[in-house]
Structure 1
């Protein structure tokens, strides 16, 4: 394949012992065709501008044809799912094709999701359906646009192969790019199976590939864990500031690089609701929005347990103690930017608490509230007041806010300009994703393309797409999404 010959491909993961993975060829689907190809991202890896017009490349990237440049494999790992350890996990419907080297020299896994059964599929068919593939493509790219650490999507395909879920659906494929697919669950697998030599070998390779700055420290493994703690804290701070709920924070869905991973029943909050649950299978609310910081710490504690063969427990505990202060510091920075209140005053804490309590009691739309607040240089106060039922109390709150803003060094125009860089106008609301899915299932992918374009620059005004920033209809609020795909 001449086109692939121009792409820099490596296979670092295959240098690990065979117990880490199994080689598996994709099971072809019928008549794969592009839904969307991420051209700007593809160009970073040397793909030409017309790559998605190559029928041969389509066959190779969909797994229909064999390419010697790829060495498809399914990773073995384990994990805690809803707090219960499950040893029988692994890549059950996705394959690591190889690793692409970008124009900057960074290495990214190229993963084909929906590629068919593997030794780790359990009773699954190894397939992905169109609706979940659209959701993952759009949300991973939306998160990138928001500046939140995330995996990316290189492309998406639809096929004529039927897939059976609650109903018959179209089989689909996602090409996912990630700096690594190594999860907390990889370490857990080798710890609980007492393969401590493999466990240490994995840690050595993680340090070599992803945390080289740790290699020459006094305690490289501890330094690695400290990095993972910090990166995870930063990711969760981003989620909380943007109102994002992942929905299924199992340890097998936690990246060692603190990047948002495995998009399933996710949701961005509409009305501000700290206890927001987006996964309809989460009956106890374990993964509710306001539980995400504590669950992330729980997951890090599970990872710490897996590292006890070569890191002293007391050191692990001290590293874990850094999680909450790091998250709170990052979150405070992000929220101050959203409110435009950079200077710190003793009374700010009470002001923030009162503001969130008021937003919750009034059911105010989280994203719209902050975007309106950042546009007070061009819109009157009605844009804020109209979001509340209790207008009198809203007017009082706004007066207090504007009084507080007078203590800031920046004047209103400059302050609002900075705030708009922290408060997106556009997010992937679940109802928008559902509308794109409904159209796509009828063969119309136009809204998928539109959303993908708009969400690349969510902080920009893009007035021609104002309708995509409207408040959701009542049916579109608090949509609970299934894990099934």
Structure 2
């Protein structure tokens, strides 16, 4: 932020205003982050005492077990206080590999605590799911999809580019006709250049 302020100071010409923005940014960012995470998790309010640890535990687990973030958060909207945490964990489409027993137990424990937290929220009926699905996209432009579309375009076929564009125009909608673009990265794309990683000139 400081470097950005220095870069635009000659244009803005208001060092006091820029300093004020820099000072306020951390708290504004934290507030926006907390509101976003509350919506992602379907919580009607953010508990500053318990939520940070809950989120940190989940993000650590998603990373350690190579769980697809987009699919996990999207599917989480179907989990509620009546859901079975074990069945939900075992049948979850977001796992890229079979989870270890330890991390499966950790996931079940997290979901059970999450269910208890949901019981404390004020949202009723499908309101929670609607908020979550309006925050957690179903469709994102995954690297392997973009690379495949680019390769087809180089061969003169632009159909996939147009379909992908249609899908990501409304990333939060179900779009059953676009279901093929909502899945996990296929194994063949794990280490393929352009699909698993991008260069700065990609």
Please report the TM-score for the alignment, with normalisation by the length of structure 2.
0.80
Structure 1 partner of 2:54? 351
Secondary structure of 1:374's counterpart equals: helix
Closer, same or farther: CA 380–445 of 1 in aligned 2, 3 Å: farther
**1:372 aligned onto 2:89:** no
Aligned length: 186
Structure 2 partner of 1:465? 178
1:39-71 deviation per Cα after TM superposition (whole angstroms, max 9, x unaligned): xxxxxxxxxxxxxxxxxxxxxxxxxxxxxxxxx
Partner Cα separation in structure 2 for residue 339 and residue 463 of structure 1 = 24
Unaligned regions of 5+ residues in structure 2, if any?
A: none
Q: What is the 5 A alignment of 1:25-174?
A: none
Closer, same or farther: CA 410–315 of 1 in aligned 2, 3 Å: closer
Out of 278, 295, 300, which is 2:4 matched to?
A: 300
Structure 1 partner of 2:31? 329
Secondary structure of 1:341's counterpart equals: coil
1:111-148 deviation per Cα after TM superposition (whole angstroms, max 9, x unaligned): xxxxxxxxxxxxxxxxxxxxxxxxxxxxxxxxxxxxxx
Unaligned regions of 5+ residues in structure 1, if any?
A: 1-296
Structure 2 partner of 1:91? none
Partner Cα separation in structure 2 for residue 396 and residue 445 of structure 1 = 46
Partner Cα separation in structure 2 for residue 459 and residue 302 of structure 1 = 37
Partner Cα separation in structure 1 for residue 2 and residue 114 of structure 2 = 36
Kindly state the Cα deviation for residue 352 of structure 1 after the two structures are TM-superposed: 1.6
Partner Cα separation in structure 2 for residue 352 and residue 384 of structure 1 = 17
Kindly state the Cα deviation for residue 471 of structure 1 after the two structures are TM-superposed: 0.4
Structure 2 partner of 1:153? none
1:131-171 deviation per Cα after TM superposition (whole angstroms, max 9, x unaligned): xxxxxxxxxxxxxxxxxxxxxxxxxxxxxxxxxxxxxxxxx
Contact 1:372/1:383 (<8 A) preserved: no
Structure 2 partner of 1:481? 198
The structure that has the greater radius of gyration is 1
What do you get for the CA RMSD once the two structures are aligned? 2.4
1:391-438 deviation per Cα after TM superposition (whole angstroms, max 9, x unaligned): 222111111111100001113532112211111110000100011111
Structure 1 partner of 2:42? 340
Q: Which has the higher contact order (CA 8 A, sep 6+)?
A: 2
Kindly state the Cα deviation for residue 445 of structure 1 after the two structures are TM-superposed: 0.9
Partner Cα separation in structure 2 for residue 458 and residue 307 of structure 1 = 36
Partner Cα separation in structure 2 for residue 462 and residue 383 of structure 1 = 23
Please report the TM-score for the alignment, with normalisation by the length of structure 1.
0.36
Closer, same or farther: CA 440–319 of 1 in aligned 2, 3 Å: same
Partner Cα separation in structure 2 for residue 333 and residue 373 of structure 1 = 17
Partner Cα separation in structure 2 for residue 306 and residue 349 of structure 1 = 39
Contact 1:304/1:316 (<8 A) preserved: no
Closer, same or farther: CA 315–422 of 1 in aligned 2, 3 Å: closer
Structure 1 partner of 2:116? 403
